[in-house]
Amino acid sequence: MQEHGFFKIEIIKQTLSVEYFDAWNIETALRYCAEFKYLAEKINNNPWACLLDLSQWELGILEMMDEVRKLNEWTNINNQKYEAVVCRLSLQKWLMASTHRALTNVEIRFFDNRKEAQDWLNSVI
Protein backbone atom coordinates (compact mmCIF):
# COMPACT_ATOMS: atom_id res chain seq x y z
CA MET A 1 0.00 0.00 0.00
CA GLN A 2 1.12 3.56 -0.64
CA GLU A 3 2.16 5.77 2.28
CA HIS A 4 -0.23 8.41 3.57
CA GLY A 5 1.09 11.34 5.58
CA PHE A 6 4.72 12.28 5.93
CA PHE A 7 7.40 13.50 8.31
CA LYS A 8 10.69 15.38 8.40
CA ILE A 9 13.57 14.31 10.65
CA GLU A 10 16.88 16.08 11.12
CA ILE A 11 19.76 15.86 13.54
CA ILE A 12 20.62 19.11 15.30
CA LYS A 13 23.60 18.53 17.58
CA GLN A 14 22.41 15.85 20.05
CA THR A 15 18.73 16.24 19.19
CA LEU A 16 16.49 14.53 16.67
CA SER A 17 14.01 17.14 15.48
CA VAL A 18 10.85 15.63 13.98
CA GLU A 19 7.82 17.21 12.33
CA TYR A 20 4.72 15.12 11.61
CA PHE A 21 2.23 15.98 8.82
CA ASP A 22 -1.24 14.78 7.85
CA ALA A 23 -2.80 11.44 8.82
CA TRP A 24 -0.51 8.40 8.81
CA ASN A 25 -1.08 4.85 7.70
CA ILE A 26 1.01 1.88 8.83
CA GLU A 27 3.42 2.18 5.89
CA THR A 28 4.35 5.73 6.91
CA ALA A 29 4.72 4.66 10.55
CA LEU A 30 7.03 1.77 9.63
CA ARG A 31 9.26 4.00 7.49
CA TYR A 32 9.29 6.64 10.24
CA CYS A 33 10.41 4.14 12.87
CA ALA A 34 13.18 2.82 10.62
CA GLU A 35 14.47 6.30 9.72
CA PHE A 36 14.22 7.53 13.29
CA LYS A 37 16.26 4.60 14.59
CA TYR A 38 18.83 4.96 11.79
CA LEU A 39 19.41 8.63 12.63
CA ALA A 40 19.34 8.07 16.40
CA GLU A 41 22.14 5.53 16.01
CA LYS A 42 24.33 8.37 14.72
CA ILE A 43 24.07 10.28 18.03
CA ASN A 44 23.28 7.66 20.68
CA ASN A 45 26.89 7.30 21.81
CA ASN A 46 26.10 10.25 24.13
CA PRO A 47 22.85 11.31 25.83
CA TRP A 48 20.45 12.73 23.28
CA ALA A 49 17.07 14.40 23.00
CA CYS A 50 14.08 14.39 20.74
CA LEU A 51 11.81 17.25 19.68
CA LEU A 52 8.48 15.98 18.34
CA ASP A 53 6.32 18.61 16.64
CA LEU A 54 2.79 17.23 16.21
CA SER A 55 1.17 20.59 15.45
CA GLN A 56 0.44 19.61 11.83
CA TRP A 57 -0.28 15.93 12.42
CA GLU A 58 -3.75 14.50 11.96
CA LEU A 59 -3.06 11.29 13.91
CA GLY A 60 -2.73 7.76 12.54
CA ILE A 61 -4.19 4.30 12.66
CA LEU A 62 -4.08 2.29 15.88
CA GLU A 63 -1.73 -0.36 14.39
CA MET A 64 1.03 2.25 14.28
CA MET A 65 0.97 2.65 18.06
CA ASP A 66 2.59 -0.78 18.56
CA GLU A 67 5.44 0.24 16.26
CA VAL A 68 5.92 3.52 18.12
CA ARG A 69 5.96 1.67 21.46
CA LYS A 70 8.68 -0.66 20.13
CA LEU A 71 10.68 2.35 18.97
CA ASN A 72 10.30 3.97 22.39
CA GLU A 73 11.52 0.79 24.08
CA TRP A 74 14.60 0.94 21.85
CA THR A 75 15.27 4.65 22.51
CA ASN A 76 14.85 4.12 26.24
CA ILE A 77 17.82 1.73 26.31
CA ASN A 78 19.82 3.63 23.67
CA ASN A 79 20.68 6.78 25.59
CA GLN A 80 17.70 9.05 24.92
CA LYS A 81 17.36 11.32 27.97
CA TYR A 82 14.91 14.09 27.00
CA GLU A 83 11.81 14.48 24.85
CA ALA A 84 9.90 17.68 24.12
CA VAL A 85 6.50 17.23 22.48
CA VAL A 86 4.63 20.06 20.77
CA CYS A 87 0.96 19.27 20.36
CA ARG A 88 -2.28 21.18 19.92
CA LEU A 89 -4.86 18.45 20.50
CA SER A 90 -5.56 16.68 23.78
CA LEU A 91 -5.96 13.43 21.82
CA GLN A 92 -2.41 13.80 20.49
CA LYS A 93 -1.14 14.30 24.03
CA TRP A 94 -3.06 11.25 25.24
CA LEU A 95 -1.68 9.07 22.40
CA MET A 96 1.87 10.21 23.04
CA ALA A 97 1.52 9.67 26.78
CA SER A 98 0.29 6.12 26.17
CA THR A 99 3.35 5.25 24.06
CA HIS A 100 5.69 7.03 26.48
CA ARG A 101 5.19 4.45 29.22
CA ALA A 102 8.25 2.66 27.79
CA LEU A 103 10.40 5.76 28.30
CA THR A 104 11.38 5.18 31.91
CA ASN A 105 14.82 6.76 31.43
CA VAL A 106 13.57 9.81 29.52
CA GLU A 107 12.31 13.12 30.90
CA ILE A 108 9.28 14.15 28.83
CA ARG A 109 7.57 17.53 28.66
CA PHE A 110 4.67 18.79 26.57
CA PHE A 111 4.59 22.27 25.05
CA ASP A 112 2.17 24.50 23.17
CA ASN A 113 4.76 25.75 20.70
CA ARG A 114 8.08 24.82 19.18
CA LYS A 115 10.03 27.74 20.66
CA GLU A 116 9.19 26.73 24.24
CA ALA A 117 10.11 23.12 23.48
CA GLN A 118 13.42 24.10 21.88
CA ASP A 119 14.26 26.49 24.73
CA TRP A 120 13.75 23.69 27.27
CA LEU A 121 15.88 21.24 25.29
CA ASN A 122 18.62 23.85 24.92
CA SER A 123 18.65 24.20 28.71
CA VAL A 124 19.06 20.47 29.37
CA ILE A 125 21.16 19.02 26.57
Taking only the tens place, the pLDDT of each residue in 6-18 is: 999 999 999 999 9
Angle at 95 between CA 2 and CA 34, to 5 degrees: 45
pLDDT for 60 beyond 70: no
pLDDT for 124 beyond 80: yes
Give residue 1's pLDDT.
Answer: 76
pTM recorded for the entire structure:
0.88
Neighbouring C-beta atoms of residue 52, cutoff 10 Å: 23
Give residue 102's pLDDT.
Answer: 77
Half-sphere exposure of 83 (CA within 13 A, CB side): 24
Q: What is the mean pLDDT of residues 72-80?
A: 95
Q: What is the pLDDT of residues 21-59, one digit of tens each?
A: 998 888 999 999 999 999 999 999 999 999 999 898 776
Give residue 63's pLDDT.
Answer: 75
Estimate the share of the chain in helix, then strand, then coil, as percent rounded to the nearest 5: 40, 35, 25
